[in-house]
Structure 1
Amino acid sequence: MAASAIITGLVAAGGLISKIIQAADTAQHNKRECKNLASRVQMIAELLPQVQDPEAMRPLAGLGEALTEAHELVQSCQRKGRTYRFFAAGRQSDRFREVQGRIDSLLILFPMVGLIGLARRLDGTGHVSVLNRASSSSVHSAVSHEVSESDSEGAEVFTLAEITAATKNFGVVLGKGDSGTVYKGKLHDGREVAVKRFRHGQRSAEATFGTELAILHPVSHEHIVRLLGSCAEDEERMLVYENVDNGTLRDQLNNNASPVATSWKARVGVLLGAARAIYHLHCRAIPLLIHCNVTSSNILLDRSWTPRLAGFGASVWRAPDVESQAVDIVQTYGYEDPEYRSTGGLKPATDLYSLGVVMLEVLTGNQPVVAVWEETKKTMVDTTLVSWALPTIEAGQLGDVLDRRPTTEPTPQQRQALQLVASTASICLRLQGDNRPAIPDVVANLEKALQLICNDMFGRL
């Protein structure tokens, strides 16, 4: 695809997007569907200026056709006749679902498009060159203060030999997951790192590598794990992160001697850090993001016990003001959003549900799946932590499921703080996403809970 063709394609796409948005504003029926579709294509408009490389355009080959169909669909909603609307209603509903699904599928590809662009902007020093932001100043001006000076230089590209030396031939395993294994390492300049080595030959692992690299490269936040660089050599796909010395929240809750397991202040502090990371993704990141895999195993703790959200392999970019996106993701058992499972529509509220499960883990000390006695079967069976703990909490009996390791009996202020965390978890776990709180409200509740605990500690000094 020649450079002139790219420019022509971008101009044509931009023109169609403008027409779709204008037509949606004057729709006579299916107004809600038209607005949602317009929000989706507006998201594409904000991302398109970053696509300036012929190779990067290849995954978006169907964009023009999808936008043309979207424009025709929104235009058809200008017709006013009742008879037409009656006979077209069912057909249009199916077409909206189909077109929205195609647009959502294209939005998912943008992280991979970003990865291709990054890979092709490698300069001679082994770093990724700074993006040309002139064509998208309106989008990127707001992000400049979020990105640190070191990040602006670009993610480093490491050789397989460098990674092998840094990890001492992949000698120390920090953890294992579905997509690969994480190893401890130390770079030649003394930086301690964690290296995620993806499984060979797995298409899903390859996609996860691309998504995580494209999404995490521009993101900088105190409570989000920092990506240092990558390695893509032969069949090897690896991501290099800053090392977090104290493992995961799940590790610490499993360790009776851990300062997290033995302190309500530490536990609520970890929840607050994770919530602030999600707030950044939902409200501040450009483009906005849905994490899609918030778990206690994806909340890491550095040497100062600061929580860092990780595990971005399933994350997706989202269009603002769109209620849900038809995206196919695989959630971890115990954290699955029931609304997403039944509708297939992904919302930011999906992250809120998973965070609610993590809150229950922090309150009870249990894992997201627990073994309970099944009287009819006369045996132990697995059930979710939500189904085990939430009814007791909502019945006002938090003390019956509360972990006793931090303290045998919480003080009145501690109990007030923990009750606030529990009630926040309860509303995060509502079946309908629209009934769950927005992430700013969750952050505010956790800040209040932590302040209550800190005031209690200060008062007893």
Structure 2
Amino acid sequence: MASSSRCALFFFFLEVAVAIALLLPSGHARVCPPCGSTEVPYPLSTADGCGDPDYKISRIARARETVADPTTRLSLLEAWSSVQVFLFGVDKIKLWSLTWRIVCGLGGALVVAAAGLFAYRRQQRIRQARERLAKEREEILNANNSSGRTAKNFSGRELRRATANFSRDNLLGAGGYGEVYRGVLADGTVVAVKCAKLGNTKSTDQVLNEVRVLSQVNHRSLVRLLGCCVDLEQPLMVYEFIPNGTLADHLHGALSRPPLPWRQRLAIAHQTAEGIAYLHSSAVPPIYHRDIKSSNILLDERLRGKVSDFGLSRLAEQGLSHVSTCAQGTLGYLDPEYYRNYQLTDKSDVYSFGVVLLELLTSQRAIDFGRGADDVNLAGHVQRAADEERLMDVVDQALQGGATRLERDTMKALGLLALGCLEERRQNRPSMKEVAEEIEYIMNIEAGNAGLKDLES
């Protein structure tokens, strides 16, 4: 039985090889009626001794239709057995030519089969790896999510279509985390799609962390998360599209002319402070942003401020006054006490926000080597001016020109509040809730309650 199976397998491969070598048309190599205990594939025919233990295969033709007389068929094999080689009775040149064509055909068939099997197994491994990766990322996103809310899961195909396959024409910006693209979903919703850097594990972790944090919060002054995608090699997050760039763009970037009016700056400061205060006081557990800066404050169509980029954010630990972690953030905004002690608290965000307030007052960058060696750091630059009782000298002259005395008083008040946020010891800094209340008080002085309602509506 085993011998019969081996014979059948041999003739199967021989049939394939002959079909390739002789260029037979599709369907031409058919199976003849059973002969003995095996089936001999056409165009092979057996000799009179068919049925003997050693099968006699004597003739081969290129096509049944072209051979009128069976005796004219080319004699291919005189005898074959499990221990014998093929014996041919034809011209040696023709014999070797035909032999090599058969061997090459058989080899080619095996190579094609092996390549197909390899490609299939490789695609299977890639698909399984992607499924495992997506599952692991979903578990990461659901970990420590006390709110029970989860982000909508977009497919990679859906986001490729929305961004025109991540066309450079749709690129909104890029940074250490990766890139942000403008996209349009199938229902017409305009979104921003944030991509982690390909192959950068740290960037990937930051995007996953941002999705996890934003899934737990909901405030008008925080950028709104719409969903995420975890089935591609780099994870993506999808959030509301904010059309007017960042606060940094409007203070000292491409959108800084004309300058933002003072009342608008106060409103942005108040909106941002309320968003951060929500993270510290209303979120459960509290959230420390860890990277508050003007380039992470987005402005919507009405120039209302929204805090974004939660990639470095950390959740507060219950019963602990701080989170022990390596200092991360942006130079010029980084809390010096956090940098020294590796103790992250809500007051670390307060310090960073104090620098943002100084940017709103001065329209200058947090770090600027053009200011001179002693004034590179904006916080130190303004603190030195305040110590010398010339705080108003560093306030943007474009704001002071035409300003009323009351407006200049509110500028000074905001400057003093900013310096309070920058106190060396964190115990001496106000909370973000207190900062938001103080800014609201300054706005009431400057514009009255009616003006405040108009700005916040």
TM-score, normalised via structure 1 length: 0.64
User: What is residue 341 of structure 2 aligned with on the other side?
Assistant: 343
User: What is residue 194 of structure 2 aligned with on the other side?
Assistant: 196
Alpha-carbon deviation of 1:236? 2.4
Contact 1:262 1:407 in 2 (8 A): no
Provide the rounded CA distance (Å) in 2 between the counterparts of 1:316 and 1:260.
Answer: 37
Letter in 2 for 1:115: L
Provide the rounded CA distance (Å) in 2 between the counterparts of 1:244 and 1:360.
Answer: 24
User: What is residue 315 of structure 2 aligned with on the other side?
Assistant: 317
Provide the rounded CA distance (Å) in 1 between the counterparts of 2:257 and 2:321.
Answer: 40
Contact 1:363 1:418 in 2 (8 A): yes
CA separation of 1:413 and 1:320: change in aligned 2, threshold 3 A: farther
Alpha-carbon deviation of 1:117? 5.5
Q: Deviations over 1:339-366 (max 9, x none)?
A: 0111111111000000000001110000
Q: Are 2:148 and 1:162 equivalent residues in the alignment?
A: no
Matches within 5 A, 1:414-453: 414-453=407-446
Letter in 1 for 2:410: A
Contact 2:228 2:237 in 1 (8 A): yes
Gaps of 5+ in 2: 1-131, 452-457
Q: Deviations over 1:413-448 (max 9, x none)?
A: 111211111111101101111111111210111101
Provide the rounded CA distance (Å) in 2 between the counterparts of 1:298 and 1:230.
Answer: 20
**CA RMSD between the two structures:** 2.7
Matched residue SS, 1:416: helix
Matches within 5 A, 1:56-135: 115-116=141-142
Alpha-carbon deviation of 1:155? 2.2
The count of corresponding residues between Structure 1 and Structure 2 is 316
User: What is residue 378 of structure 2 aligned with on the other side?
Assistant: 385
Matches within 5 A, 1:229-378: 229-254=227-252, 261-320=259-318, 322-372=320-370, 374=372
User: 2:394 is matched with which residue: 394, 397, 401?
Assistant: 401
User: What is residue 85 of structure 2 aligned with on the other side?
Assistant: none
Contact 2:199 2:234 in 1 (8 A): no
Q: Deviations over 1:134-189 (max 9, x none)?
A: xxxxx76xx9xxxxxxxx6x422112221112112223221111110111111111
Letter in 2 for 1:159: S
Letter in 2 for 1:164: R
Matched residue SS, 2:399: coil
Contact 1:293 1:354 in 2 (8 A): yes
Matched residue SS, 1:455: helix
Contact 1:253 1:260 in 2 (8 A): no
Matched residue SS, 2:397: coil
Matched residue SS, 2:320: coil
Q: Which runs of 4+ in 1 moved over 3 A?
A: 111-114, 255-260, 455-458
Identity rate, percent: 31
Contact 2:374 2:381 in 1 (8 A): no
**Structure (1 or 2) with the larger CA radius of gyration:** 2
Gaps of 5+ in 1: 1-54, 60-110, 119-130, 132-138, 144-151, 375-379
| Higher relative helix content | 1
Q: Are 2:224 and 1:226 equivalent residues in the alignment?
A: yes
Alpha-carbon deviation of 1:190? 1.1
Contact 1:274 1:307 in 2 (8 A): yes
Alpha-carbon deviation of 1:260? 8.1
Contact 1:167 1:185 in 2 (8 A): yes
Letter in 1 for 2:328: V
Matched residue SS, 1:236: coil
CA separation of 1:194 and 1:272: change in aligned 2, threshold 3 A: same
Contact 1:292 1:316 in 2 (8 A): yes
Alpha-carbon deviation of 1:406? 3.2
Provide the rounded CA distance (Å) in 2 between the counterparts of 1:201 and 1:404.
Answer: 46
Contact 2:290 2:312 in 1 (8 A): yes
Alpha-carbon deviation of 1:384? 1.1
Q: Deviations over 1:186-219 (max 9, x none)?
A: 1111111111111011111121022111110121
CA separation of 1:400 and 1:456: change in aligned 2, threshold 3 A: farther
Matched residue SS, 1:233: coil
CA separation of 1:346 and 1:255: change in aligned 2, threshold 3 A: closer
Contact 1:289 1:315 in 2 (8 A): yes
Alpha-carbon deviation of 1:320? 4.9
Letter in 1 for 2:285: P
Higher relative contact order (CA 8 A, sep 6+): 1
Q: Deviations over 1:215-261 (max 9, x none)?
A: 10121101000000111223121100000010110011125865883
Provide the rounded CA distance (Å) in 1 between the counterparts of 2:366 and 2:138.
Answer: 31
Contact 2:192 2:240 in 1 (8 A): yes
